[in-house]
Chains A and B, each alone.
Chain A
Amino acid sequence: MYLVHYEGGCMLEVKNLDFGYGKQKLFQQLSLSVQTGQIVGLLGLNGAGKTSLLKLIAGALYPQSGEIILYGRSTLHRHPDVLADIYFVPEDPWGPALTPLAWLERYGVFRPAMNRALFYRLLEEFQVDKNKPISRMSYGQRKKCALAQAMASGSRLVLLDEPTNGLDIPSKAQFRRSLTMVDLQDTIFIISTHQARDLETVLDPILIIHEGSLLCSFPAAAINERFSVRSVEKLEGLPVIYAEQGALGYQALLAEGGSGADLETLFTAAIQDPEAFRRALEVESSRTIKENL
């Protein structure tokens, strides 16, 4: 597996996680680690367990075995200070019959690091009416309100499940812009998404989970350094990882640096042929190490 090396210790560590629903095993010995200051993209097929993984990390689900350590403390015991350090926004957030301002008074008080000024700014940025009950808001408005709550929470781990799902096109841009309003230095964002194109400019690194384990993990820089997409007539002699046949030839993902590739293509390639994808990352990784030596 391609290994991403970063300076400093791991701020979030998932170790040997086993989890399943009844007899259906979802994760077997899943391990991953994330550094502070990262906006991690979590990709996976439907049913791969992205939401479950986010809930496990948040402490809303208990694993059958394994550990989840956030800044040196287990999230599984649900200590109030650890819970205050985590904010999870589900795909379809809860809409209480409270205005965003009333929500702040009722629930924001449990989070001492809540940044009220930032919350108001984010509501303005997202054009969310702060005097309208959240329960009466549209799905997209509710989602933007929940994102504002999460980003202003002061929590050092923010878990977002499909944050751009249901957002209109300007709102997606607003969301990307809003990430710059948060102090990322001390924060980890883990964003699970199927809408990879919406967020590919902000996600770094990318984690792909597949068949119960971490298929691969790579920094965004690796996309341009190690991959390129080309339209070719023939595939012979080319370092092809994945190709789609079209009317005029092939659209091929190649294991060579250059133009890079969009996340959706990379994801599809990784899922279609995990071994080839991993090999491409490893070859390039070892090549980089040799060049550095």
Chain B
Amino acid sequence: MKLEFIEQPYSLRRLYFLVRNRVFEDIGPVLIVSAAVLALNLLLLLTSGRYNPGSVQSWGMLLAIGGVFLAGNAFSKMHDGKAGTEWILLPASSAEKYSAALVMYLIVYPVFASLIAVLETLIITGIGYFIQGSSLWIYNPLSPIIYNNYLNYAFFILLAMAGSARFRKFAIGKTAAIVFSFILLGSLLLVLGLLLFDNEGRQILFNGVRGHSVEIRRTLDLSKDRAMQILMQIFQAGTAAFALGYGYALVREKEARDEVQ
């Protein structure tokens, strides 16, 4: 038996095979969506007199949504009655299986999807340039807005992967519902906090308001508040670390579907 890599608890060779297999599995949907986007844009270009190819932000958002959707199905096979047992028993460690998904959706997909976006914008605006004489615009994946938002993308990827490891069906929808619930809860706590730190708010909270409603009108822009920014970063990093650990633990502890024969 060739044991050079099978004996290693973590093997880069196995990681490569796992990532490669993920590429093979995901390339179909990515190419189909890319073709649809290209066709739609070409249709708009050829039928509309005032075609706008979009912006780096809009293309970046589209790619990010695609990545989150793929990551939301990262472990769907693991939950499948038939494929699940095969997935669990594939000779690779849980760490390799989880990190292969991380490599795929944090590195391989963004690079590959960005290249497709570059190619598509080149084709679309190139055709527009030759037919209509419109300006040439190419999606630039190295724009500051893209790499500044990469960590936000990574955050959502980790959430989607944890959701995919947790839920067997409708993982993306259920994960989105949980995230939305947390945002709602966070917002309520924020409002409660603001009321507690406000004289008028405390009056309302502790003395009650009878017979009529009270409006508090204040300009509130927390995005410029440094403390709030740090708090948000800590929250985001903590949630990402939790999602990473939680998702990995679920993959590690996954068992074949219950059945008594």
Binary per-residue interface labels of chain A (89-103) against chain B in the complex, 1 for a CB within 8 Å, 0 otherwise:
011111110000000
Q: Which residues of B contact A46 (CB under 8 A)?
A: 261
Whether A21 lies near B91 (C-beta < 8 A) is no
Question: What 0/1 pattern do residues 65 to 96 of B give for CB contact below 8 A with A?
Answer: 00000000000000010110110111111101
Partner of A61, one of B9, B14, B24, B256: B256
Name the residue on B nearest A194 (C-beta): B261
Q: Are B89 and A86 in contact (CB under 8 A)?
A: yes
CB atoms of A80 and B261 under 8 A apart? no
Given contacts A21-B260, A78-B93, A106-B21, contact A94 B85 (CB under 8 A): yes
Are the CB atoms of B261 and A91 closer together than 8 Å? Answer: yes
Say yes or no: is A277 at the interface (Cβ < 8 Å to chain B): no
Cβ distance B183 to chain A, nearest Cβ, rounded Å:
35
A167 to B261, CA, bound (A): 19
- Please tell me if B210 contacts chain A, counting CB pairs below 8 Å: no
Q: What residue of chain A has the Cβ atom nearest to residue B17's Cβ?
A: A109
Q: How far is the CB of B83 from chain A (nearest CB, A)?
A: 5
Segment among A10-18, A52-60, A228-236 that sits at the interface with chain B? A52-60
Q: Verify A80–B89 contact, CB threshold 8 A.
A: no
Once A26-B260, A79-B93 are accepted as A-B contacts, the answer to whether A112 and B5 lie under 8 Å apart by CB is yes
Q: Which residues of B contact A164 (CB under 8 A)?
A: none
Q: Are B14 and A80 in contact (CB under 8 A)?
A: yes
Contact A81 B82 (CB under 8 A): no
Q: Is A50 an interface residue (CB 8 A)?
A: yes
CB closest chain-A residue, reference B18: A110
A60-B89, A112-B1 are contacts. A81–B260 as well, Cβ < 8 Å?
no
- Given A59-B89, A94-B82, A110-B14: A79 and B260 interface contact (C-beta under 8 Å): no
Instruction: Tell me, in angstroms, the Cα distance from A111 to B90 when the chains sit together.
Output: 9
B247–chain A nearest beta-carbon distance, Å: 17
Contact code string B43-83 (vs A, CB < 8 Å = 1, else 0): 00000000000000000000000000000000000001011
The chain B residue with its CB closest to the CB of A96 is B83
Please judge, given known A-B contacts A106-B24, A113-B2, whether A83 and B90 are in contact too, CB under 8 Å. Answer: yes
Interface check A62, CB cutoff 8 A: yes
In the complex the two chains form, is A80's CB within 8 Å of B2's CB? no
Task: Give, as a whole number of angstroms, the nearest-CB distance from A185 to chain B.
Answer: 14
The answer, among B2, B14, B89, B260, for a CB contact under 8 Å with A88, is: B89
* Cβ contact of B255, chosen from A61, A91, A162, cutoff 8 A: A61
The CA-CA distance from A106 to B23 in the complex, in Å, is 11
A55 and B85: CB pair below 8 A? yes
Are A52 and B89 in contact, with the CB atoms below 8 A?
no
Contacting B83 at CB < 8 Å: which of A24, A81, A94, A113? A94
Point out the residues of chain B lying under 8 angstroms from A112, CB to CB: 1-6
Indicate the size class of the contact surface on chain A. 35 or more
Contact of B91 among A50, A84, A93 (CB under 8 A): A84
**B215 interfacial by beta-carbon distance below 8 Å:** no
CA distance A88 to B253 in the complex (A): 19
A246 is an interface residue with CB less than 8 A from chain B:
no
Whether B1 lies near A78 (C-beta < 8 A) is: no
Is the beta-carbon distance between B91 and A47 smaller than 8 angstroms? no
Chain A residues whose CB sits within 8 angstroms of the CB of B80 once the complex forms: 94
Residues in B neighbouring A154, C-beta threshold 8 A: 1
Q: A93-B82, A110-B92, A113-B2 are in contact. Are A55 and B256 (CB under 8 A)?
A: yes
Complex contact B255–A80 (CB within 8 A): no
Shortest CB-to-CB span from A69 to chain B, Å, is 17
Q: Tell whether B258 is near chain A: CB-to-CB under 8 Å.
A: yes
Give per-residue flags for A60-72: 1 if the beta carbon is below 8 A from chain B beta carbons, else 0.
Answer: 1110000000000
Inside 8 A of B86's CB, which chain A residues have their CB?
Answer: 94
A176 to B94: give the CA distance in the assembly, Å.
35
Q: Is B11 an interface residue (CB 8 A)?
A: yes
For residue B259, CB closer than 8 A to chain A, the reply is yes
Question: Is B7's beta carbon under 8 Å from chain A?
Answer: yes
Chain A neighbourhood of B85, CB < 8 A: 55, 58, 60, 88, 90, 94
Contact with B along A108-125 (1 / 0, CB 8 A): 011111000000000000
> Chain A residues with Cβ under 8 A from B6's Cβ?
80-81, 84, 112
Binary flags per residue of B233-261, CB closer than 8 Å to A gives 1, else 0: 00000000000000000000101101111
A-B contact pairs, 8 of them (CB 8 A): A49-B260, A59-B88, A60-B255, A81-B91, A95-B82, A107-B21, A112-B6, A192-B261
Extra contacts, 18 of them, besides A80-B93, A81-B3, A113-B2 (Cβ < 8 A), are A47-B260, A47-B261, A50-B261, A51-B260, A51-B261, A61-B255, A62-B253, A79-B93, A80-B11, A80-B92, A88-B85, A90-B85, A106-B21, A107-B90, A110-B92, A112-B3, A112-B4, A192-B261
Q: Which of A's residues lie within 8 Å of B, judged by CB? A: 21, 24, 26, 46-47, 49-52, 55, 58-62, 78-81, 83-84, 86, 88, 90-96, 106-107, 109-113, 154, 161-162, 192
User: Which A-B residue pairs are the 8 nearest by beta carbons?
Assistant: A51-B261, A84-B91, A60-B256, A83-B91, A112-B2, A94-B82, A113-B1, A110-B91
